[in-house]
Structure 1
Amino acid sequence: MTQVGEGHETAADEAGPVLTFGAPAAGEVLAERYQLEEHVNNDSAGRQVWRGIDVILRRPVAVVLRHPGGDSATEMLQAAVAASRVIHPNLAGVYDAIDEEERAYVVREWVDGESLRDLVGAEGPLDPARAITIARSVADALTAVHATGMIHGNVHPGSTLIADDNRVVLADARADEADSTELDVRAVGGILYFALTGHWPHAEVGRSALTDANRDSAGNPAAPRQIRAGIPAYLDDLTMDLLDRRVVAPASDALTAELGRLDAAAEDEEYEDVGPLRFVQGTASSNEPIRSAPKILVGVGALIIIAIIGLVFGIRAIGETSNNNSSSGVTGTTPTNAPAGGNNSSAPLPAPEKIALSGSMVRLVDAPPGDRVDAAEAKLTVDGDADTGWSTQTFNASKFGGLKDGMGILINLGQARSLSEVRVLTSAPGATMDVRTGPGDPGDSSNGDKQLLEQFTSLSDEKPEGGAGTKWYFTGFDPNQKYQYVLVFLTALPKSDEGPGYKVSVNEIELYGY
């Protein structure tokens, strides 16, 4: 497998070892063997991930560092030592684990590719067939881990790596006392959910936090089919069952077998013929599905309720027909869209659709003091062309040179609508942005923009942070509320790639709703 770092073997010897302490630096050699070459990113736990070279075996490696070492690094090192005993094509090989007290680090296989987090961030949600393949590989890796009595504890889009040769590799085990094989298996449901929707069904905080799932008023994540059309029903059911603590989770080998069956169906494009889910716990000899007690009770209860409702409505229909016939000779009718039984807020939402936007529906918001010279470019953010957009002017500091709170694009939908998501494409990573909603547009003027910013509130309670990519996905809309005015607002700019200063372009804005 081709990996970043091949062809750089001689570079490890050119400058000689650089032994330092404290913060890691490019060129430093750890344990007189592992030379750091490039800081790649930070993992979901905030540990630094470096690309390096094993100067003895002359092979590329990944080095995961944390500071400090000592007792605080015990779990990481123990998990690495345990993982080194498991050899599997879908697990990143662990080569070394070292504690230097000031810091600790794990040396593992370098995978030339990108994480699932970055892949979905760059390309958007994956097609069902690819999502199944990735989940199956992760489940297979967990089967190997669990067979040894170990727990992985860190199944996450950031630790799920997609190699350039399409091999799926699960890396960076990090189990603690709170983890279990069940949580590992349920995390595969999270991987499926993220791959299918671009959202993570578990709450996260921090700079690297994934986009949260669309949620109902009770805080439950919406099913993938409610977010995106074209997801097969069986895959939707499997994903939500894995996330639902009321449903008994299968063993990892049973989940691997089920995903293998679905993977084969995906290859043959026989999505509608795969039949019900077939979790076989502990043995492959039985073809009977194992169903959890909650699901059985729910199913029986639903049948009873349907029977009662049918009986009640049957009696009512007979009575109403009798009354109508006796009074007028005409049978009464009920509109097909009339609610049966009052509040229907718990009914599943339809799949969200992209809302058609035009240049007349958007305008520039330029927080005072602002000269509004870019106002004519606002319409380019909704023209359907990713190569055009609204560009800010160049400022001498990230936060608009300290001159204003920010700038953005206001969208007036013309009428209140139920919304699910806002997608934004920018010209460069590193901007800080959020989405805000409010009661109306005080006017296309400097004073109107001032009032607007006082009245509008962000969808998220958290302080906006800079994004690492150019594709943004904003959720958090209340499913019980409708919105007419949506503001995409920039509060900090990345460095300009055209020269000194800070600027960015908003190339495309898309809204999705019902």
Structure 2
Amino acid sequence: MTQVGEGQEASESAPQVMTFGAPTVGEILAERYELAQHINDDSAGRQVWRGVDVILRRPVAVVLRYPGGDSAMEMLQAAVAASRVIHPSLVGVYDAIDEADRAYVVREWVDGESLREIVAEELLDPTRTTAVAHAVADAVAAMHATGMVHGNIHPGTVLIGDDGRVVVADARADSADTPETDVRATGGILYFALTGHWPHTEAGRSTLPDAVRDAGGAIAAPRQVRAGVPAYLDDLTMDLLDPRLALPAADVLAAELARLDSAAEEQYYEDAGPLRLLSATREVVSGAPGVPPEPPRTAIRKIAAGVAGLLAIAVAGLLFGISALANGDDDPTDLPSNSPAAAAPSGSTDGATAPKPQNFALRADQVRVVDPPDGDRSGLDDVAKVVDGNDNTGWETSGYKNAKFGNLKPGMGILIDLGQPRTVSSVQVTLSAPGVSAELRTGDQDPGDSSSGDDAIVRTYKTVGQPLEGFDATKMSFNAFEPDQKYQFLLFFITEMPATSDGPFPFKIGVQEIVVAGLS
């Protein structure tokens, strides 16, 4: 089990693993983190341990580096920066400590394996490959939205949990890393999942086998290495690895992969493939060293699928990838000094940057529980805790005999009043357990905190995007908002719950935190 990614090749100066004075099983670090098992050593010479947070009683991964001090500064700074980005496809970072003789980072423990280990046993099929790349692009877009770069996208840093969750770990960008290197490496993830090879020249050096190449060094397409790769996935992978082509932004790539992921079983995609991310006449990057210009190619796709895809990408590219900062502080002066400045919008002529969505500061009086009239309107207390900035506190439903609220009502939810109509880009909900079915709805007014008012809300509010059924993680994100529409009233509505306790009423769920982001 890999709990820290064996990232890009370690430099020749990477520290060796310390043996004398090394930690032992049972040792407690910082009077809080008990070391339980030495898992492995990563490519940079750091020890990786499974541990337990003895205060919160939860498993953690502890990454130790010898020595600490100045030599560990990059690791610690990267961990602090990553801790500010909350996203379901990013491993949560809990702590970063420097003790001079050693330094260590404490982060979320993921039960599962790295993509590197999984592909070593069996290549992924195209559908699973698309889903994994979608999660990676989502995570990268979330980091880029806050001005940060991951810098270490690699099969060893992509973890796939036993519950199917895909997360990215071990961010450690340096001055040579840019948003483009992250996007290019995401293309490398696609190539590796499909072929078992990593494109060294295009995506970064590695101990993994290099991509298959011809006598001239040109990379072989996945379809040339392995049968059964759809043309559209082959094209997308090769576009991302081609130095002659301009790369899409991470949020645009994530939107395209989301479309392919959700439409993986639609027959017309298998026939001709979707419209490419790039224009039909692909843009050749000038000055790519050692690469002759490629004659423009045209990609004739099905008109209906192509136009719909292009519109979806354009909309999602404006709004996708905004993540909640753990401390709610969006002050750009708090970002690392090497964080790249936000790029000017495409087509901008005056160098001005587009306004960045921010998390709305929600008060307790802006949220309330919605319980349809068939319910008894019990369990309405503590709802203010869903906007207190603390994932460890929240509101919880009562217990029920079955997942669908005992068949007494269609569900329960939390109404959010933004105070005035606003442009919304995302709503993120943190739950106490996975396995929830829920949806996000919107309406024009709040008819009142009463049984009749709740009934009117449930009957009249319209769904935003697609419902999430049996969601296998604890952080739900809703992003399907129209850019030219303003929203004031949002309803997070739960329709099914998991069994989270024993006894005659085991079905219940807690909503720990709700974060809404957008433009004022």
What is the TM-score when the length of structure 2 is the normalising length? 0.50
Code of the residue aligned with 1:69 in structure 2: it is G
Q: 1:267 aligns with which of 257, 265, 268?
A: 265
Instruction: Assess if the C-alpha contact under 8 Å between 1:92 and 1:171 holds in 2.
Output: yes
Question: Secondary structure in 2 aligned to 1:64?
Answer: strand
Aligned twin of 2:282: 291
RMSD (CA atoms): 2.9
- Alignment match, 2:80: 81
Give per-residue Cα distances to partners, 1:139-184, cap 9 Å, x unaligned: 0011110000001111111110001111100011111111111000
Q: Distance in 2 between matches of 1:227 and 1:154?
A: 25
- CA distance in structure 1 between the partners assigned to 2:175 and 2:271 by the alignment: 41
* Mapped contact 2:243–2:285 kept (Cα < 8 A): no
Q: What is the CA distance between 1:199 and its match in structure 2?
A: 1.0
Q: 1:142 to 1:23 in 2, by over 3 A?
A: same
Paired AA for residue 253 in structure 2 = L
Tell me how far 1:38 sits from its aligned partner. Answer: 1.2
- Residues in 1 aligned to 2:273 and 2:37: alpha-carbon distance in whole angstroms: 46
Task: Trace 1:323-402 onto structure 2 (pairs within 5 A).
Answer: none
One-letter code aligned to 1:299: P
**How far did 1:268 drift?**
2.7
Q: Per the alignment, do residues 48 and 102 of structure 1 end up closer, same or farther by CA in structure 2, a change over 3 Å counting?
A: same
**1:310-350, CA deviations, whole angstroms, 9 ceiling, x for partnerless residues?**
xxxxxxxxxxxxxxxxxxxxxxxxxxxxxxxxxxxxxxxxx
Deviation at 1:224, TM superposition (A): 0.8
Amino acid at match of 1:119: I
Contact 2:282 2:297 in 1 (8 A): no
Larger Rg: 1
Cα separation, 2, equivalents of 1:289 and 1:203:
26
Give the aligned partner of residue 38 of structure 1: 37
Structure-2 change in CA distance of 1:301 and 1:94 (3 Å): closer
Q: Give matches, 1:13-412, under 5 Å.
A: 22-122=21-121, 124-202=122-200, 209-269=207-267, 270-279=269-278, 291-293=282-284, 298-300=294-296
SS of 1:119's equivalent in the other structure is: helix
> Equivalent residues in 2 for 1:492-507 (5 A)?
none
Give the letter for the 1:231 counterpart: V
Report the alpha carbon displacement of residue 59 of structure 1 after superposing the two structures with TM. 0.4
One-letter amino acid of the structure 1 residue matched with residue 260 of structure 2:
L
Q: Which residue of 1 is the match for residue 419 of structure 2?
A: none
Which residue in the other structure is 2:485 paired with? none
1:376-407 residue CA offsets vs partner (Å, 9 max, x unmatched): xxxxxxxxxxxxxxxxxxxxxxxxxxxxxxxx
What CA distance in whole angstroms lies between the structure 2 residues aligned with 1:299 and 1:231? 25
Q: Counterpart of 1:258 in 2: which secondary structure? A: helix
User: Percentage identity across aligned positions?
Assistant: 67
Aligned partner of residue 271 in structure 2, secondary structure: helix
| Residue pair 1:262, 1:274 contacting (<8 A) in 2 also | no
Q: 1:171 to 1:162 in 2, by over 3 A?
A: same
Whole-angstrom CA distance in 2 between matches of 1:290 and 1:107: 47
DSSP 3-state at the match of 2:263: helix
What's the CA shift for 1:301? 9.0
Residue identity matched to 1:88: H
For residue 155 of structure 2, what is the amino acid of its counterpart? P
Unaligned 5+ residue runs, structure 2?
4-18, 287-291, 299-520
Q: Would the aligned equivalents of 2:69 and 2:103 in 1 still touch at CA under 8 Å?
A: yes
Aligned 1:399-438 pairs, distance under 5 A: none
Aligned equivalents of 2:266 and 2:62: distance in 1?
Answer: 40
SS in 2 for 1:72: helix
Contact 2:232 2:272 (C-alpha < 8 Å) held by counterparts: no
Distance 2:56 2:258 in 1: 36
Q: Structure 1 residues 274 and 203 mapped into 2: Cα distance closer, same or farther (>3 Å)?
A: closer
The number of equivalent residue pairs is: 275
Deviation per CA, 1:68-127: give whole Å up to 9, x if none.
Answer: 2111111111010000000000000000001112111110000111110111112x2110
- If the length of structure 1 is used for normalisation, what is the TM-score? 0.50
8 Å Cα contact 1:265-1:274 kept in structure 2 = no
Q: Label 1:166 to 1:289 Cα distance change in 2 as closer, same or farther (>3 A).
A: farther
State the SS of the aligned residue for 1:267: coil
> What amino acid is aligned across from residue 294 of structure 2 in structure 1?
V
User: Structure 1 60/272 Cα, relative in aligned 2: closer, same or farther at 3 Å?
Assistant: same
CA distance in 2, matches of 1:142, 1:54: 28
SS at match of 1:169: strand
What is the deviation of 1:211?
Answer: 2.2
Letter in 1 for 2:157: S
Runs of 4+ in structure 1 deviating by more than 4 angstroms, as ranges, are 294-297
- For residues 447-506 of structure 1, what are the alpha-carbon distances to aligned partners after superposition, in whole Å with 9 as ceiling and x for unaligned? xxxxxxxxxxxxxxxxxxxxxxxxxxxxxxxxxxxxxxxxxxxxxxxxxxxxxxxxxxxx
Alpha carbons of 1:136 and 1:101: their partners in 2 closer, same or farther (altered >3 Å)?
same
- Following the alignment from structure 2 to structure 1, what is the Cα–Cα distance between the partners of residues 247 and 212? 23
Instruction: Work out the CA distance in 1 between the residues paired with 2:119 and 2:136.
Output: 16
Unaligned runs of 5+ in 1: 5-19, 280-287, 303-514
Letter in 2 for 1:107: V
1:239 partner letter: T
CA distance in 1, matches of 2:297, 2:189: 31
Indicate the SS of the match to 1:37: strand
Secondary structure of the equivalent of 1:299? coil
Q: How far did residue 44 of structure 1 move?
A: 3.7
**Alpha-carbon distance between aligned partners in 2 of 1:217 and 1:46, rounded to the nearest angstrom:** 35
* Contact preservation (8 Å) 2:244, 2:294: no
**Aligned pairs (5 A) from 1:413-492:** none
Work out the CA distance in 1 between the residues paired with 2:218 and 2:146.
Answer: 34
Matched letter for residue 118 of structure 1:
E
Cα distance, 1:265 vs. partner? 2.7
